[in-house]
Structure 1
Amino acid sequence: MFHVKPQTATAFAVFGLGRFGTSIVEHLAAAGVEVLAADRDLARVEAVANLVDSAVAGDASDPEFLERVAVAHFDVVVFAMGEEFEASILATMTAKEMGCPRVVVKALDARQAKILRRIGADSVVLPEVEMGAKVAKSLVNPNIVDVLDQVAGIGIAERHPDAAWVGQTLAEADIRRSAKVEVIALIRDGRPQVPVNSDTILREDDILLTLESPK
């Protein structure tokens, strides 16, 4: 699934600004991509207006509204109105008819997911198993590190060894205790070491791939 990296998407439209949709919007905005956020509720639109390029109030199931916001311009369109299943169906069908290259739709259960796929949804998300941050990051730049980084409560980071660790073995540096992170890989001279041997002597120019230790 992660062997071929697809072309990176840069423009996103998110319709439906409940907790799930808002989470996607926030993480997309943090990624620095173009974002349009929309919802029927003006208060929800105003709550994210300062984060995105465009924020509009409107009904995603209305073809005229989708045409007005130029929905076909976006690389990825997300319909996060799972509680409004009929609206999700109409919006999905309209977006695909208008030529949207990738339509991602929120569903509440497997039955809804099956229907949405049949009418043209490219991806269907069940929020119970896929958090908004995971979806947003995988849309922007899907690769294996991002997938790991999307698991709730886990953070992945790259760092050079602290000065105090240089010249010590991984075991001697005891990074898990001193920095509260787990070293899951080491990149040296462009070559990854997975797993990292505990007697590996750390160098200043090493790159450590670390995982936040569970609390």
Structure 2
Amino acid sequence: MVVGLTGGIGSGKTTVANIFAKFDNVVIYNADLEAKNLMNTSLKIKSKMIEEFGEDSYKNNQLNRPYIANIVFNDKSKLETLNSIVHPEVKMHFQQFIKMHKKSHYIIYENAILFESKSNLKCDIVISVYAPLNLRISRTMLRDEIAKKDVENRINSQWKEDKKLLQSNYIINNITKEATHNQIINIHNILTQKRHRI
């Protein structure tokens, strides 16, 4: 069973995924992390990136992240172009991952743009992680050491929260650690029972 895990930037998706990872026979696929790896290792992606965004896309054979971020988070069409280059490769990579982990109770597919990339259509269940906007902004500023305006640009490039929540099977309110942990345990218990009926 594939369980999509999504949420806006700074909502705490990875924190939630790390808690799910502690359960026996549950595996995590972090689409954002795998996309970053593929952008550095896939010659197909690399050639398309250079063709689209120029030679400065890579520095010392590694993706020039600040350069790319500055382009795509200030131009929606450029972000769509980036996604069209990277996401097909990530989807193929994920299909291989599913085949490798068929015997798992379930696979958590962590993806910041699960709905935007239509990856939710490949999921049996979708969980959205929610946190108030001001908390998301402060978390991201602290984590990425970037200005508030840059965080807001990234937030504006994603779907609105209410749109995601309405299409989710479960919502985790990630505000306090204890409450978040309890919600995850509850969902895990439901999913491990539900697995036999899907």
In the superposition, the TM-score normalised over structure 2's length comes to: 0.38
**Of Structure 1 and Structure 2, which has the larger fraction of its residues in strand?**
1
Structure with higher RCO (Cα < 8 A, 6+ apart): 2
In the superposition, the TM-score normalised over structure 1's length comes to: 0.35
Structure with higher Rg: it is 1
